């Protein structure tokens, strides 16, 4: 007879997600000693250490990273079995951890989360906003279930699904010399002062591609948030590549001007990223389906719009 219990697996998954015994106990509404005992018994039965202790937190050991997706699958399969005991499936419940990169988390959260929340209000969503590299690492360490990122992700353990297309725009303050040019050419950007995101972000990678296709300029500032970059541009400190979603409000109020740069490739893809060994249960499948519906709806809307003029963001 198997000695491993569902409760032990739930404790293991909760600790892996929360990082401490105390936080896991609060999440499971049990005492800390009960959590510690369940983890110790699970490790005894598996004859392995599932966590490494680092500065008061528990981080998955190499063996723990292998066991976690299997434990998650067992729990989710049991939950699905219980939901299907009635003729009509019960409403989805549970926790789903989503990592969103900066632009998506700050400017497209409604499109990312809205349809799923409307369809599955009983699911508890936990969303962290970080750059693409950090989201990728969180997926590899099984700290989140799903990632939604702006930059390319190439890792053999990760599956990348296209969500929707997007574009950056080159922005300047209305009084900036480049904003005064009636027709811009690449030569006009010689010596331009640029404000960029931090290294590791998708925006930084694409901005560097833009800089490489233009005459030499100067990187004046590196900032960790899109909003901080936008405010620096509005203040006239320099120019920047910004997501259209982040720039549109300031454009409409006249505080920011989008430069007409048809000679630059500013298109990009927004992607959903999953760990290949992570079981795609009902929660993850439902989230992926909600984004597919959003993407199809947006494509229909875009197809019905008049074609934009050259140089306008798409």
What do you get for the CA distance between the two ends of the chain, in Å? 60
Give this prediction's pTM: 0.78
Which fold is adopted by the domain 1-88?
A: Arc Repressor Mutant, subunit A (1.10.10)
Helix, strand, or coil (residue 240): strand
Query: 121: exposed, middle or buried (C-beta count within 10 Å: 0-12, 13-18, 19+)?
Result: exposed
Helix, strand, or coil (residue 19): coil
CATH class for domain 164-269?
alpha beta
User: For residue 56, what pLDDT is reported?
Assistant: 76
User: For residue 38, what pLDDT is reported?
Assistant: 95
Say whether 164-269 and 1-88 share the same fold. no
Helix, strand, or coil (residue 245): helix
- Tell whether the model's pLDDT for residue 193 goes beyond 50: yes
Poorest-pLDDT segment among 11-20, 237-246, 297-306: 297-306
What confidence tier does 1 reach under pLDDT thresholds 50, 70, 90?
very low
Report, as an integer, the average pLDDT of 259-271.
93
The region, left, alpha or beta by phi > 0 then psi within -120 to 50, assigned to residue 64 is alpha
Share of the chain above pLDDT 70, in %: 91
Report, as an integer, the average pLDDT of 48-66.
89
* In the chain, domain spans: 1-88, 164-269
Report, as an integer, the average pLDDT of 219-225.
93
Helix, strand, or coil (residue 55): coil
SS3 for 105-164 is HHHCHHHHHHHHHHHCCCEEEEEEECCHHHHHHHHHCCCCCEEEECCCCCCCCEEEEEEE
Helix, strand, or coil (residue 96): strand
Beta strand extents in 176-251 (DSSP E only): 193-197, 218-223, 240-243
Q: Which of 273, 165, 167, 150 is nearest to 202 (CA)?
A: 150
Q: For residue range 70-87, what is the model confidence (pLDDT) as tens digits?
A: 999 999 888 888 777 765
């Amino acid at each position: 007879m198997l000695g491993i219990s569902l409760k032990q697996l739930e404790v293991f998954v909760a600790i892996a997600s929360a990082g401490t015994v105390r936080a896991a106990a609060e999440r499971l509404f049990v005492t800390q000693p009960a959590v510690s005992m369940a983890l110790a018994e699970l490790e005894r039965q598996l004859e392995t250490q599932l966590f490494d202790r680092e500065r008061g937190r528990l981080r998955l050991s190499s063996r723990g990273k292998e066991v976690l997706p299997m434990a998650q699958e067992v729990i989710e399969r049991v939950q699905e079995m219980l939901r299907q005991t009635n003729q009509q499936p019960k409403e989805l419940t549970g926790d789903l951890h989503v990592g969103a990169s900066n632009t998506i988390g700050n400017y497209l959260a409604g499109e990312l989360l809205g349809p799923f929340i409307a369809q599955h209000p009983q699911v508890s969503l936990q969303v962290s906003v970080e750059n693409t590299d950090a989201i990728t690492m969180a997926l590899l360490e099984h700290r989140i279930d799903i990632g939604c990122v702006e930059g390319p992700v190439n890792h053999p353990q990760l599956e990348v699904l296209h969500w929707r297309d997007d574009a950056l725009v080159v922005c300047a303050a209305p009084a900036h010399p480049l904003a005064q040019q009636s027709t811009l050419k690449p030569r006009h950007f010689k010596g331009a002062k640029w404000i960029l995101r931090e290294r590791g972000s998708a925006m930084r990678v694409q901005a560097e591609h833009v800089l490489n296709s233009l005459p030499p300029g100067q990187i004046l500032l590196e900032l960790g948030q899109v909003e901080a970059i936008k405010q620096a541009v509005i203040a006239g400190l320099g120019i920047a590549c910004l997501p259209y979603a982040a720039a549109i409000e300031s454009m409409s109020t006249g505080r920011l001007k989008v430069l007409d740069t048809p000679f630059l490739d500013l298109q990009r893809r927004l992607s959903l990223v999953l760990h290949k060994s992570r079981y795609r249960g009902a929660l993850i499948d439902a989230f992926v389906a909600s984004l597919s519906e959003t993407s199809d709806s947006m494509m229909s809307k875009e197809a019905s719009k008049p074609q934009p003029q050259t140089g306008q963001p798409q």
